[in-house]
Structure 1
Amino acid sequence: MSRFMDVHHGMAGITADQLAQAHKADLAIEKEEGVHFEKAWADPESGTVYCLSDAPSAEAVRRVHERAGHPADEVHAVPLTA
């Protein structure tokens, strides 16, 4: 498994409840793609949402988000942590 950070743009005004609902939608189907979403963060002012996950591939992360109804604009591998 590899770690990924994905980014969603265009979500200006997102609320804490909307973020939680989107995260729950991912969690409901993540196992079907072998993904585990750990955490999600949002900046309502800029409309940017970030999600951290462990997954077999960036494509698996993209598939979960697409199926959950909020496609990721970017998916980045995070091979190093401190």
Structure 2
Amino acid sequence: EVVHLTNHKKDKVGLMAIKIDHEKAYDHLLWEFVKDSLEDVGFPNHLTQVIWSCISSTSMKALWNGEALESFSPTRRL
């Protein structure tokens, strides 16, 4: 959806997309390190909080064809 938005928005100033590949790397990653790293490189506080909320959440919802499915709790965090 973000890519679609950036492709169709005339004024692309201020848009950013982040993709983090969690495949296996998350098994041995300290989430506090991720948060501290974002703060150290100067990410805006509100963006750091959004990312932190995503990786430390204990319940999730998935979108299926644009519809939100019922919440579920993962056996591990992201």
Give me the TM-score of the superposition, normalised by structure 2. 0.30
Structure number with the higher helix fraction is 2
Structure number with the higher strand fraction is 1
Structure with the greater alpha carbon radius of gyration? 2
Which of 1 and 2 has higher RCO (CA within 8 Å, sep 6+)?
Answer: 1
Give me the TM-score of the superposition, normalised by structure 1. 0.29
